[in-house]
Amino acid sequence: MRAISKKIILTGSFCVGKTSLISRFVYQRFPFSYQTTLGVRIDKKATIIGETKINMIIWDIGGEQSQSRVPESYYLGSSGVIYVFDISRPSSFINMETDVTYIRKKLPKVPIILVANKTDLLDESTLNEVKNILPIEADFYTSAKENTNVEDVFIRLANDIINNVY
């Protein structure tokens, strides 16, 4: 079995649940108190994908109103991006198109997964209404609190990285 290490960054606006998604994936727990990430916080988790052990070095980047405000050094060496927004708070996805375009310029050959988090805060009818106004369709709809689709996000990104799906 081959082993590889890859840097993954989670980015997006303030208070969208990036830290909660990481906590749920890496430690199988949900932090019920809000934790502001200043700068960057790094966690690690190994996962087996087929014949490959991928050591994910997960960078939790502090939320910014615009991705252009994230220090460029945070992007260096990234193999994958998870862009997170709060599905219950339109202000967190209003700049999504601009942000994703910016990230694609910085990391043109890197897979980007778009994650609509906090689905537990909306009923099904409201969730469907919000899906219709998204500037870009999300790849996953998650709830870190209820552990909905959290592992699927990271496994999909690991697969995309291993299989060079950009």
Burial of residue 153, with CB atoms counted within 10 A of its CB: 0-12 exposed, 13-18 middle, 19 or more buried: buried
Q: What is the pLDDT along the chain (166 residues), one digit of tens a residue?
A: 899 999 999 999 888 999 999 999 999 998 766 566 555 789 999 999 999 999 999 999 876 655 666 767 778 899 999 999 999 999 999 999 999 999 999 999 999 999 999 999 999 999 999 999 999 999 999 999 999 999 999 999 999 999 875 4
Per the DSSP assignment, residues forming a β-bridge with 5 are: 55
The alpha carbon of 109 is separated from its chain's Cα centroid by a whole number of angstroms, namely 17
**DSSP H or E segment with residue 84:** strand 78-86
Domain ranges of the chain: 2-162
| Per-residue buried b or exposed e for 8-41, using 16+ beta carbons within 10 Å of the residue's own CB | bbbbbbeebbbbbbbbbbeeeebeeeeeeeeebb
Distance (Å, rounded) from C-alpha 46 to C-alpha 54?
6
Cα 143 off chain centre by: 12
CATH code for the domain defined by 2-162: 3.40.50.300
Whether the CB-CB separation of 108 and 152 falls below 8 Å is answered with no
Cβ atoms < 10 Å from Cβ of 86 = 20
